[in-house]
Amino acid sequence: MLKKTRNLPISSIVLVTYTRCNIYFTKRGRQIIAMVSVGHVYSEYATNFLQDADSMSNTHRVIEFDRNTTRLKVEKMVNLKEVRPTGKFVVRLDERWCNCENFQKVHLPCAHVIIACKHAHQDFIMYISPHYRLDVIMKVYDNLFGELRHEEYWSPYQGPQVWPYLATERNERGHPNSGRIRIEMDIREGRQSRKCSYCRIEGHTRNHYPNNTRLR
């Protein structure tokens, strides 16, 4: 959002950020409306996630641990192409919990939850968070940005005024002032005089070396 704007004045950064947010919200709103009109119910991320999880669930088997089929153990069947051992996961449908932790993180049914729902004859769609529904996402982009009027139409400002701190202003010439906090390790013990890079003797520099005629 702030790409190529960090060296601009504050007022220009605010204007560019406002304009780019308006463009982004307008574009995303049109995309959501187009997806709803086609017949999509969930976002693209949720759809792809569920498709991958559904395909992976075919390689798992389920073991029941209660009569209500809400607590189950899911084991991945042996795959001769994989060297790593098969995984074992516990799913609690009544608590919306799986020890793979993906179910709790993204609030979407993982492969273990999907195969557990199929075994319990439940629809895994009921475990999808409503935040992934397009009708819910569309409400985020309903609020439009107002257009910016010319400064002549602005109401007079009555709040506090902010002035720059001149001590931190960057020098027009030379090396900029360092903003590093100095500590005891940065303090030199005594002032060290400069040595000549040609003879390594103090009192002169290479450009003023007295015995070298080539440097005169």
Question: What secondary structure does DSSP assign to 118-154, as a single string?
Answer: HHTT--GGGGS-GGGBHHHHGGGG-SPPPPPPPGGGS
Question: What secondary structure does DSSP assign to 70-88, as a single string?
Answer: -EEEEEEPP-TT--SPPPE
Residue 176 has pLDDT above 70, yes or no: no
Query: pLDDT tens-digit profile of 52-108?
Result: 999 988 888 888 877 777 888 888 776 545 555 567 889 998 889 998 889 999 999
* 152-184 as b/e: b if 16+ CB within 10 A: eeeeeeeeeeeeeeeeeeeeeeeeeeeeeeeee
Instruction: Single out the residue of 107, 144, 142 nearest to residue 124, CA to CA.
Output: 107
Residue 31 has pLDDT above 90, yes or no: yes
Instruction: Single out the residue of 40, 2, 6, 38 nearest to residue 21, CA to CA.
Output: 2
Residue showing tokens 């709040």: 159
Q: What percent of the chain has pLDDT over 90?
A: 30
Q: Which amino acid is at 183?
A: I
What are the structural domain ranges in the chain?
A: 1-41+132-145, 44-127
Compute the distance between CA of residue 56 and CA of residue 193 in angstroms, rounded to an integer: 71
